[in-house]
Structure 1
C-alpha cells in the first residue's frame, strides 16, 4: 500500500504505511546531515504517556526518509495537539491546560520535570492521558522549522532567561494570556525582539486587555509573567486556580462604562510600557558607551567633594513656592539634572523619569568627551526656534511649552510637550523634520510641606497623546543658535588635565 503522510503540527507528521499508523518527528532537514551512527543514540530517547494511574514510555520504532527529510517514528495516538488547543475558546481549552498542569506536577514529583513547553510536543489522546514527545527531539524540531511556525509553538512561550518550574509557570502564563485575550503578551518579528520584550516590557494585564476577565485571574497570570527569576508561581497553585476557574468561571459582567474605564487604562498602560521599552532599547544601543562613561564619572566623583556638599546643603526647593518647585522639577529634565529632580520629590516618586534623565546624562557626557558634542538639543529652545529640521545625528529631548495651573490647595495641573529619541524600529510621521517623537502630556501633581519647603509626593499622568505634525510641514534649515544641553558643574569645574587623563586610552 502506498505511504500516506499528513502534517499534524510543525515538524510532526502522521505516517500511514502497511495498514499501520505512526507518529513521525522530523530530526533532520537533509539526509546527508543525518549520520546512521547517531540513530543508536536517538533510539535511547523516549517520551512519556501519562495517565492517572500509570506512566508508559513512548519509544522510537525506527527512522524514515520522507521527501528528502529524516523522521524518527513511534506509535501513533489520535488526539489533539496543544498547538491546536491554544486556539480553542477558553471555556473549552482550560480543561486541557488543567490536565497538562497535573502532568507537569506528576513529572516534577518523579524528578523528571520538563524544562520547556513545546506546543507541538504535547498531545492529548482521544482515549485519555497525555503524550509528551521527547524533549531532546522537540529541540531539534524547533531549530529546523521556520520562524513563523516556531513562534506559536515555542518562541512565544518559553523565556530563555528562566529554567525549570519558573519557565514552565511563565509558559503557562503566556498560554492563558493567549487564550483569554487572543494575543501573546510579548510579540515581535524576530526571535531577538520577542526575547527582549520578555526581559524588558511589562505586558498589559489581561483584565485591561479584555475587559470582563476577573481581576484575580489577571493578577495571577501577571505573577507568572514576572521577570524576577526567584519568584516563580508553583505549579501546584496553577492546578488549584484552574480547577476553581473551570468551576466558578473566569469572567465577570461589566457595564459599558466600566469597560470604557478599563480600556482607557489599558491604553495608558500600553503607552507607558512602550515608552519604557523604547528608552531601554535606546540605552541598549549605547550600552558600551554608557559603561565607559559611567566608569569615568565614578572616577570623577572620587575626586570631587560634591557628594559631601550635597549631603549637607539644603534642598534646592527651600524658599520656593509650589509652582516654582514644579517648574524646577520639569526644567531639570531639560538640564539633565537628576539631583535637582530628586530634591523636588519624595523618595520613590518619578523614579523611572529620574532614571531616564540619569542615563541620558551619562550618554550626554560620553558624547561630549569623545565627539565634542552631546547629540541632544534642548526641547524648549528647539520649539521656541520654530522646530527646525536637525541633522540625523541630533535628537530632541526634554520638556517644552510647560504651563502650570493650580487646581486645589496643594494640587496642580502641568501641561507640556515631551520629546524623546526614537528607537531604530520605531516609525515617525513623514512630516516630522526630526527623528524624535513628541508627546502632549498632562500631569496632576500633589505637594505638601515638609519642614520649611514644599515637596511633590505624587505625580499622576492624566493624559498622554502623540504630537502630530501639520500635513504641510516644511522642514526648516538647522539653526546653530539652539543651545546644546549644558554640562553640570561636576564636569565644568574639573581641571582640563584631569578630564583628558581620564579619557586617554
Structure 2
C-alpha cells in the first residue's frame, strides 16, 4: 500500500485520512481531540550534534486545524504544512534494495540513496524523541507513519489520539503495516521508543518488518516470545562496532511486553517522574555514526569479500531458526496448557496423598526397616525421579509440601507434553548431558547429592519410638522451568526426623538455595566443542 494515501504531505497542508465516515467520526467523539498537541522539534543551530544525547531542539506545539470530507467519503484531518517526508514512506522507498530482482539491481544507486536517507531520518527521529522524553513532555509514540522528518533534521510528531484512531480504524494487513507492527505494548516510554526505532532500522536493513503478523493476537505472542530473526543473523558485519550496533537493535526488539490472551493491552506506555529522571541520564540509544555504520554494512554485504562471512552467517541463521522454533513451541505449550497443568498437578497431589493413606492402612510403608539416613536418601532419590508416592511416604505432608508440589507439577507437565508433542517428558541431568542435542529435551534432576550427619541416631539400626535425628543434605538441581529457561540452583537442606511406632519420618526440612549462573546455549556449545572433562571445573554441578 502507498503511505501517501493515508498521510499526505502537501505544499500547503498535511492531511491524514481518518478512515472514518462523517457519522462514525461523530459517533467516536473524535472531534474532541482536535485540540490535542503534537510536537515540532527543530534542531538548535548552536547546539552540539555529535550524538543524540547532546542534541538540543526547539519544541513547538502542533495541532490539527480542521477537517474536510474526502472523495471516498472519509473525514480528512487537516494540519499546517511541514516540509518533510513521512518516515514510513522513506522506509518504504528503501525496501526495493532487498527485492533481489534485476530491476532492483539496476536501480542500485537510487535504492542506496533511499536507504541512507531513511537511516538518517530514523536517527533524527530517535534524537528528537529522546529529547522529548528527557524534557518530560507528554510524548506518545505512534510509529513511523506518525513522524515527519525534514532534511535539516527537524522532526514532527503528529498529535497522537486522532492519528492512532485513524490507523486503528483500518483492518488486517493495512493496520499492521501502518501502525501495529511498529508499536509494542511496553510499559516504559523509553523502551517503547527504542523498539520503534529498532523496528524501523531493522526494516531498512533487512527489507521486512521484524514482526509482520497481521493478526494482533498472533503478533502479540510473537512480541512475547521475541519471535523474530535478529539482524545479527541477517547482516554480514565487517567490524566489531557494527556487530555491536546490530546487537543493540536486536536487544531493543527483544522487549518485555504486556500481553493478554484477549490481545494486547494499550500500546501507550506511562512514565513516572522517576522514570523520566532516569531517561534524562540515559545514554543515547543510537551512536552518532549509526547511519554510516549501517550504510557501510549494506554495501559490504554486496561485495565478494563478504562471501565467506555470508556463508557462515547463513549456517548460523539456519541453526538459530530451528532452535527458535523449538523454543517458541515450548513456551506456547506452557501458556496454552497452563491451567490444565495446574489442575492436573492438584489432582496428582490429592491422589498421592490418598495413595499414601492406602499404603499406610495396608502396613506397606516404604520406610520400614530403614535407618534415618536411608530414609533421607530414599526421599531425594524419589525427588530426582519425580516419584511423588515414594516421596510422600518419607515424611509428613507439611514437612515435604514444597518438594512434593514441585515434583507433582513437573511430573504432570512432562506427561502432558509427552501426550501432546510425542516427546520424552524429562531427562535426568546425566541423560541430558549425554544426549546429542540437550536443548531438544526437558531436564530435571539432582546432582552431587551429599547426605551426612554427626548424630549417631541417624545411623542406628534399632531405633525406639520418640528418637530424633538431624541430617544435612547438599545437592544441585538442574531444571527447565517450562519455557526453555534453564535454572541451576545449589541447595543446602537441614532435615529433622522422628521415629514413630515402626519407622523414621521426616518432620521438618529447612531449605536454603542459591541460583548458579547458567547460560544453556553457551554450555551446549562448549560441551560440543571442548568435551565434558574440559569444562567440568566451570560447571561444578555437572553429574
Q: For 2:197 and 2:74, how far apart are their aligned partners in 1?
A: 32
Contact kept? 2:19, 2:170, Cα under 8 Å: no
Give the structure-2-normalised TM-score: 0.54
Equivalent position of 1:91 in the other structure: 116
Deviation by residue 1:381-424 (Cα, 9 ceiling, x = unmatched): xxxxxxxxxxxxx652239xxxx9xxxxxx9784899799xxxx
Query: Of Structure 1 and Structure 2, which has the larger fraction of its residues in helix?
Result: 2
Q: Measure how far apart 1:257 and its partner are.
A: 3.0
- The change in CA–CA distance for 1:132 and 1:416 in structure 2 (over 3 A counts) is closer
Equivalent position of 2:69 in the other structure: 65
* Runs of 5+ consecutive residues of structure 1 not aligned to the other structure: 1-6, 318-331, 339-356, 366-373, 378-393, 405-410, 421-441, 459-505
Residue 22 of structure 2 is aligned to residue 31 of structure 1: yes
Equivalent position of 1:287 in the other structure: 338
Equivalent position of 2:423 in the other structure: 397
Q: Measure how far apart 1:187 and its partner are.
A: 3.2
Residue 365 of structure 2 is aligned to residue 313 of structure 1: no
Residue 309 of structure 2 is aligned to residue 243 of structure 1: no
Equivalent position of 1:187 in the other structure: 212
State the SS of the aligned residue for 2:12: strand
Q: Measure how far apart 1:280 and its partner are.
A: 2.0
Query: Of Structure 1 and Structure 2, which has the larger fraction of its residues in strand?
Result: 1
Equivalent position of 2:462 in the other structure: none
Equivalent position of 1:362 in the other structure: 412
- The change in CA–CA distance for 1:294 and 1:59 in structure 2 (over 3 A counts) is same
Residue 224 of structure 2 is aligned to residue 224 of structure 1: no
Q: Measure how far apart 1:197 and its partner are.
A: 0.9
Q: For 1:240 and 1:450, how far apart are their aligned partners in 2?
A: 37
Equivalent position of 1:12 in the other structure: 7
Q: For 1:52 and 1:416, how far apart are their aligned partners in 2?
A: 54
Q: Measure how far apart 1:192 and its partner are.
A: 1.3
**2:176 pairs with 137, 151, 157, which one?**
151
Pairing 1:413-452 to 2, within 5 Å after superposition = 414=436, 444=528, 446-448=531-533
**2:135 pairs with 84, 87, 110, which one?**
110
Equivalent position of 1:263 in the other structure: 314
**1:76 pairs with 69, 74, 81, which one?**
81
Q: Measure how far apart 1:76 and its partner are.
A: 2.6
Q: For 1:313 and 1:31, how far apart are their aligned partners in 2?
A: 77
Equivalent position of 1:101 in the other structure: 126
Contact kept? 2:176, 2:214, Cα under 8 Å: no
Aligned length: 360
Contact kept? 2:43, 2:153, Cα under 8 Å: no
Deviation by residue 1:304-326 (Cα, 9 ceiling, x = unmatched): 899x9999439999xxxxxxxxx
Q: For 2:28 and 2:439, how far apart are their aligned partners in 1?
A: 67
Equivalent position of 1:44 in the other structure: 35
Q: For 1:128 and 1:219, how far apart are their aligned partners in 2?
A: 26
Q: Measure how far apart 1:273 and its partner are.
A: 0.8
Equivalent position of 2:55 in the other structure: none
Q: Measure how far apart 1:100 and its partner are.
A: 0.7
* C-alpha RMSD over aligned residues: 4.9
State the SS of the aligned residue for 1:96: helix
Contact kept? 2:37, 2:159, Cα under 8 Å: yes
Q: For 1:450 and 1:311, how far apart are their aligned partners in 2?
A: 34
State the SS of the aligned residue for 2:130: helix
Q: Measure how far apart 1:153 and its partner are.
A: 2.8
Equivalent position of 2:230 in the other structure: 205
Q: For 1:156 and 1:37, how far apart are their aligned partners in 2?
A: 24
- The change in CA–CA distance for 1:174 and 1:40 in structure 2 (over 3 A counts) is closer
Contact kept? 1:9, 1:83, Cα under 8 Å: no
Give the structure-1-normalised TM-score: 0.58
Contact kept? 1:447, 1:456, Cα under 8 Å: no
* Runs of 5+ consecutive residues of structure 2 not aligned to the other structure: 45-57, 95-111, 258-270, 357-364, 367-371, 389-406, 443-524
Q: For 1:288 and 1:31, how far apart are their aligned partners in 2?
A: 46
**1:196 pairs with 200, 215, 221, which one?**
221
**1:138 pairs with 143, 163, 169, which one?**
163
Q: Measure how far apart 1:248 and its partner are.
A: 5.4
Equivalent position of 2:488 in the other structure: none
